[in-house]
Amino acid sequence: MPDFEVKTPEGDTSERQVCTTCGYIAYENPKIVVGTVVVDDGRVLLCRRAIEPRSGFWTLPAGYLELQETTAEGAKREAFEEAGADIALDGILAVYNISRIGQVQIIYRGTMQTPGLSAGIESLEVGFFRWEDIPWDRIAFPSVHWALQAWREIGTQPLGAPFTNPPQDLRGTKRLDAATVAL
Amino acid sequence: MPDFEVKTPEGDTSERQVCTTCGYIAYENPKIVVGTVVVDDGRVLLCRRAIEPRSGFWTLPAGYLELQETTAEGAKREAFEEAGADIALDGILAVYNISRIGQVQIIYRGTMQTPGLSAGIESLEVGFFRWEDIPWDRIAFPSVHWALQAWREIGTQPLGAPFTNPPQDLRGTKRLDAATVAL
């Protein structure tokens, strides 16, 4: 098992995890999550999670972007893997920062390209929900709420500047204070 | 020194770099670059790179997002580190995929919050350029061209849906073919 210590490598400005056995520097950068609000006949695609965290709760099809794929390809791959959905993307609906856990989420708006859904191995069930039927008390993550609200606001209108975190959730945890963040 | 072999860890679906000494799995995900088209009196801020790659060529203030900062905080930090610029951000101008090198670039449009520039240690010189004075034959990266063109197109108008790669540059290198990418 690797054994890491926290230190600042020579020439670096931040502390990093460095393996005491082999000297490997684990540069941990934020990870990119790509997902989609998939809309069909006024309903939105949700997946009930079969895995932790938040197993049993509902989420958008989304996951970590892999190397050598574009954000659009990743969003389409996740919809296919988690919901068996063959989707087309309109464009970017929202960009969310979850800096507490080192994530940047890029959320597309999309539509079904071919009919048909089937729950992938990371989903217990999948389905389309009208706004009033969304299981609001069983949503997995705050950013799913935000993205659903963004969809509610924009509907089928042309996409504009991306939605972002609600103001009270915008701040990172390490640098700067709220007053210096002018987004 | 760490010594990595390429193999698929148990329960994973992709090959990863695994250290033969300590078993550490180096999950390599795409990295996020944050940067800004900083506009002042119709001119754009460029920095001449003091470091490789492309030392001596001109770029936008931009760099890797660090953990525990938001994309907006990272963009402001980079402008300060590379050009001594205290900037405010309007919002996201463009999202570029450079999947060949595992980057997603989130480029803001911004303005100066306090006057004054000074070249940071990664910059040879910094300055504002009118469109016709931009050193087009000395631009560091294709995405700098794309972002400058995006700024040229939108100017000071309200930001819309983010600009993205030109169509011929959109495709990832691993998955799907162009016909399935509907962005």
Per residue in B1-58, pLDDT (tens digit) is 567 788 887 766 677 778 888 877 777 889 999 999 999 999 999 999 999 999 999 9
Please state the rounded mean pLDDT for residues A126-154: 97
Contact A174 B68 (CB under 8 A): yes
Q: What's the pLDDT score for residue A175?
A: 42
On the question of pLDDT at B175 being above 70, the answer is no
Torsion sign over Cα B46, B38, B32, A84 = negative
Contact A24 B19 (CB under 8 A): yes
Chain B residues touching A26 at Cβ < 8 A: 24, 26
Q: How far apart are CA B159 and CA A182, in angstroms?
A: 15
On the question of pLDDT at A178 being above 80, the answer is no
Q: How far apart are CA A9 and CA B176, in angstroms?
A: 39
On the question of pLDDT at B118 being above 70, the answer is yes
Q: Is B104 near chain A, with CB under 8 Å?
A: yes
Q: What's the pLDDT score for residue B44?
A: 98
CA distance A15 to chain B (A): 11
Mean pLDDT of chain A: 89
Q: What's the pLDDT score for residue A1?
A: 57
CA distance A94 to chain B (A): 10
> B183: nearest CA in chain A?
A89
**ipTM rounded to 2 decimals:** 0.84
Q: Is A156 near chain B, with CB under 8 Å?
A: no
pLDDT band at A172 (very low <50, low <70, confident <90, very high): low
Q: What's the pLDDT score for residue A2?
A: 65
In order, the DSSP letters of A130-153 are -GGGS-GGGBS-HHHHHHHHHHHH
Per-residue pLDDT tens over the stretch B76-113:
999 999 999 999 999 999 999 999 899 999 999 999 99
Q: What's the pLDDT score for residue A121?
A: 95
Q: How far apart are CA A7 and CA A28, in angstroms?
A: 13
Q: What's the pLDDT score for residue A170?
A: 72
Chain B residues touching A71 at Cβ < 8 A: 95, 97, 104
Among the ranges given (B62-71, B101-110, B174-183), the one the predictor scored with the smallest mean pLDDT: B174-183
Q: What's the pLDDT score for residue B55?
A: 97
- Here the tokens at position B22 are 């300590």
Q: Is B68 near chain A, with CB under 8 Å?
A: yes
Per-residue pLDDT tens over the stretch A117-132:
999 999 999 999 999 9
Q: List the single residue in A2, A88, A110 with the smallest CB-CB distance to B22.
A: A2
Q: Is B11 near chain A, with CB under 8 Å?
A: no
- Three-state DSSP at A163 gives strand
Cα-flanking dihedrals φ and ψ of residue A13, to 5°? Answer: -115, -5
Per-residue pLDDT tens over the stretch A81-99:
999 999 999 999 999 999 9
Strand B25-26's sheet: what is its strand order? B4-7, B16-19, B25-26
ω into residue A158 within 30 of 0, thus cis?
no
Among the ranges given (B84-93, B126-135, B171-180), the one the predictor scored with the smallest mean pLDDT: B171-180
Per-residue pLDDT tens over the stretch B146-174:
999 999 999 999 999 999 999 878 766 55
